[in-house]
Structure 1
Amino acid sequence: MKLKLLGLSAIGASGAGGWYLFGNIRPKNVEEYLTRSGLKLLAWDSEYSWKAVLEENKELLKNILKKDPDSQSIKQWCRDILPREDYEKYAKAASLVCVDNPQTVKGKIIQLDGGISSLIEGLQDGNKDEKYKVSYVWKKHMSAAMELISFTPPEEGEGLEQGGKALGDWCKKALQEKPNDTLVSNVKLLCSPMPFDDISGLIEKNGENSKMLSDYSTKYNSIKELDTWKNDDTVKSIQNQQNQQNQQDQKILEQWCNDSKSKKFSKEGTFSERYPKFRFRCLQDADGGKK
């Protein structure tokens, strides 16, 4: 539509001669062709941008440069071809390599941050599947996020296996999509690892290590008759061990708290069952939670 309006405007202003003038507006070189096309040339000192270009166009650049590319060789190629008058020959490659025009969400994030190490997909160590499960379980209450990844958490249980997989599949696909601000923001929110894996890590992250009980007797006496305590299979398991060792009753609570700290949020029940009970049973002045 814009081109049609431009043509009509030219005719109205200059008559038939407008077509002659328009037809003779030929870009003088590759640089002018790119800027006339509405593309912005990359700044020579924008290292993250050149890194993104390299990531997105490795095969193209290998064919162009006839060697393994790096940022410096890409810059030099652009410097060499931007002044060239035979712009048709270089237009397509230059529009991918020499301009601010990331083709994927991954490329855009590299341009912004220098890499994707802040995302689960960019991690060099750790089990990515486990990381996706943890990220999912802490975001499954966000209905918009679950709608985005096309997953409905189950009414019973946490759905870690299916939910973690749904999130991982969405993140991998989203990184290859055309970038826009909303999608980039969503990827950064949903596809980044949580800064902890287990209950101990979360307590440390929250600065709550000092709130861990030092005297377990008072708390034990306050909860030992609760059905939630007496009927807890994880407690019964410790009780059986303690009875064999003839240890004091409050030691049961102390061991339960110590055992709980290593429970990972990638395991079914840690988020919805173990952690709320841990907060109630093992922290001083804890907020509400399961008993």
Structure 2
Amino acid sequence: MLDNAIASHSRRTLVAVALAIALATTSIGFAQEPVAGLGVACGQVTATKGTVPFQLPGIPDATVMFEPGDYCATTDNDGSFSVKLPPGIYQTTISAEGYESTSQQVLVPVRGEATLSVFLFPEPKGAPVASLKLGGRGGQPGPVAYNTSMNLDASGSVNISRHGIRWEIRDENGDIVLDPYAVPAQPMQLDPSPIPGSSPLDFTFTPPKPGKFTVTLLLKNSLSEEESSASYVVEAINTPPGAVAKVIAGPNPPSKTPDGKFKIGSGLRSVVEGDMVYLVGWGLDKNTSS
């Protein structure tokens, strides 16, 4: 009888302990569950110059800080980083030893990915020295069609500061060229090439009209109050449109496919004398994007 009472009490005790452990485990599990809906900020921090075209070297051990929240990531050997963050807008500061730091805003979406591509300029060691030449692969000096983008290379410049770059473009009358799209009007400034992998020191210039333009790069940094300048003269011309004619063999006239694409004929390369042929013509104008 006594043994049965002891056994029954022991079973009740074990059940109570097991239930307490289960409740504690459940409580701890809820406390450690990660926040739902995290986003990801990732990208690469690179230098401004490289030896391989369109492949800038990454900067290892760069620090990427996200505020608010003091979130931090460090780049790997090729300059890449990735960090999980609650969704929101962050002020991001990127820094590395021997380089100027820079900041930018980033929006991290819910369960999405925000990609950053950041260039760091070396810290200036003295007064800036500007250099400017024709850029682009296979670029040849000479007149260019107006409204056509061309590349100007400033990579020969030294002691450049990200915040000390400005441009001055003057026409053949010496007047400052204004940005045709800016409201209110302001002097035209050049943007880095949009081609992926391009150096931020490879800039594009689009002459807005025929004539000669003097494009001047002006550099300034925290170690010198004086600006260094370098210029390149661009001659823009009005290129006559070109006519392109094509003879299309019959018997069917040119038509469009169901998806709206132009079908230029039957595909025949030769016809019998006296058979019907059709003519298709195009006009090409380098001065317009169409």
State TM-score, norm by structure 2: 0.23
- Pair member with larger Rg: 2
